[in-house]
Amino acid sequence: MSSRYDATEELSGAEYLASIYGTEKDKVNCSFFFKIGACRHGDKCLRAHHRPTFSNTVLLKNFYHSPALAQPDAYDNLKLGKTDNLDQQHFDEFYEEVFTEMERKYGPVEELNICENIGEHMVGNVYVKFVYEKDAEKAVQGLENRWFNGHPIYAELSPVSDFREARCRQHEISTCVKGGFCNFMHLKDVSDDVYERCYGGKGFYADDGYDDRRDRQIETLMRCECLSEQEVKVLCAKAREILMQEGNVQRIDAPVTICGDVHGQFHDLMELFRVGGQVPETNYLFLGDFVDRGFYSVETFLLLLALKIRYPDRMMLIRGNHESRQITQVYGFYDECLRKYGSAVVWRCCTEVFDCLSLSAVINGRIFCVHGGLSPSIQTIDQIRTIDRKQEDSVGFGVSPRGAGYLFGSDVVKNFCETNNIDMIARAHQLVMEGYKWHFNETDNRGAPAKKPQPDYFL
């Protein structure tokens, strides 16, 4: 029986990995430091805390001093996520002051996140993610040996770039069982009005950087990459502002390319743009059902919103039956938001945009465009203009979204066209393998556009 001494028996996990790969102990990275930019073990951690040479994110250690921490029941309140109006007011003032100061002195800020954890290594940590790395480096240098409200500022570049990985998902969805001592970020929400002032195009860089920021977001989404939650909130708020200025029935001039259901098929959307032309060279009208079923509903819908904000007169969007809170919780969009962002915040932002989408459009006063079709309760287009579209029934009994529609024949279409003095109806909702399809008698229902050898619209 051998009694040979095995030195690896006394090695820690980090030391053992270092020994078998022939590297030094300090080359084994600390996963917590990499994800959240902080580690509860501090300098005593056996793994390496590699601080990046270049980064967009600056960490201001223990920078926010919450008045709630001075209360006798601070531990219980923060563990349960409780707050009061004075604490929120103090936080909002601090948030806006820091955001404005960072943008004014160093450069445009992409997002600002503040921890409400109470663990020593995370309490009051402030993460400022700049648009450009050079601005983050300038901020670290500019904040050296500086003080704020009687406290020294400790600033360093942070490895955190994707806050979706750093956030505590349990805290975002409900209540974290670890409370304020969780090792993942519990980020405190700023009030809506402060948020809008900081990110809604009214900040320090509103005039000279607004379009550039939108263009960068479009480029990111064109690569089928997600925006940060902060960016989504601002994007949706701006989209609501623009969409609410449009009526229930949009008036559109030809030429315009009409597109049916996309259903989260991002690559099909890219193919549509490749064939039909890019925005703003080509005008588009999308007939709803942007989300559900496909794997990229988030990226698809946000890209359409970003294009709508950037080119409001070139991108027209109307609502489909899947732009609904009820439907999206069944057919995939809600689950996709949870999977990609760890909470329902993005889903709620998008559903608030759904409420603002127009219901139909009329091209050149002659072509009526709608998602599903005609209704027995609607005889004139003017009736659609009077509908309150900014509501969605959520209480009591209702008809199931599936099987609740109506079939309509050529006589209904003919009467509707004659009553409203239009030539034809363009609808989506159903798949046609040919890409488009004429219903009923083609010569009777195409109308004036059919007489043109090269029509200035495309279905």
CATH code for the domain in which residue 178 is found: 3.30.70.330
Is residue 266 located within the same domain as residue 336? yes
Is residue 39 located within the same domain as residue 61? no
Is residue 106 located within the same domain as residue 192? yes
227 is a domain residue:
no
From 80, 69, 38, select the one nearest 178 (Cα to Cα).
Answer: 80
277 is a domain residue:
yes
Is residue 73 located within the same domain as residue 97? yes
Asked if 206 contacts 214 with a C-beta cutoff of 8 angstroms, the reply is: no
What CATH number should be reported for the domain holding residue 266?
3.60.21.10
31 is a domain residue:
yes
Length of the chain: 459
51 is a domain residue:
no
Q: What is the pLDDT of residues 281-340, one digit of tens each?
A: 999 999 989 999 999 999 999 999 999 999 999 999 999 999 999 999 999 999 999 999
Is residue 114 located within the same domain as residue 33? no
Is residue 319 located within the same domain as residue 417? yes
* Residues forming beta bridges with residue 126, ordered by sequence position: 60, 114
Is residue 277 located within the same domain as residue 355? yes
Is residue 74 located within the same domain as residue 24? no
* Residues with active-site annotation: 322
Number of structural domains in the chain:
3
Side chain identity at residue 256, one-letter code:
V
Q: What is the pLDDT of residues 51-88, one digit of tens each?
A: 888 899 999 999 998 887 766 555 555 544 455 677 88
314 is a domain residue:
yes
Last residue of a domain, one of 199, 234, 263: 199
Per-residue pLDDT of the chain (459 residues; tens, 9 = 90+): 455 545 445 666 656 555 555 454 445 778 778 777 888 888 788 888 878 888 999 999 999 988 877 665 555 555 444 556 778 889 999 999 999 999 999 998 988 999 988 888 889 999 999 989 999 999 999 998 899 888 899 999 998 887 877 888 777 777 888 888 888 888 888 888 888 788 875 454 454 455 677 888 999 999 999 998 888 988 998 899 899 999 999 999 999 999 999 999 999 999 999 999 999 999 999 998 999 999 999 999 999 999 999 999 999 999 999 999 999 999 999 999 999 988 888 999 999 999 999 999 999 999 999 988 787 788 888 998 888 887 665 544 445 554 555 666 677 788 888 999 998 888 888 777 777 777 766 544 443 333 333 334 343
Last residue of a domain, one of 199, 233, 263: 199
Q: Rounded CA gap, 165 and 256, in Å?
A: 41
pTM: predicted TM-score of the whole model, two decimal places: 0.64
Asked if 234 contacts 199 with a C-beta cutoff of 8 angstroms, the reply is: yes
What tokens appear for 342 in the block? 């760890």
Q: Which domain range does residue 93 map to?
A: 57-199
Secondary structure (DSSP) of 142-194 = HTTT-EETTEE--EEEES---HHHHB-HHHHHS--TTGGG-SSB-BPPPPHHH
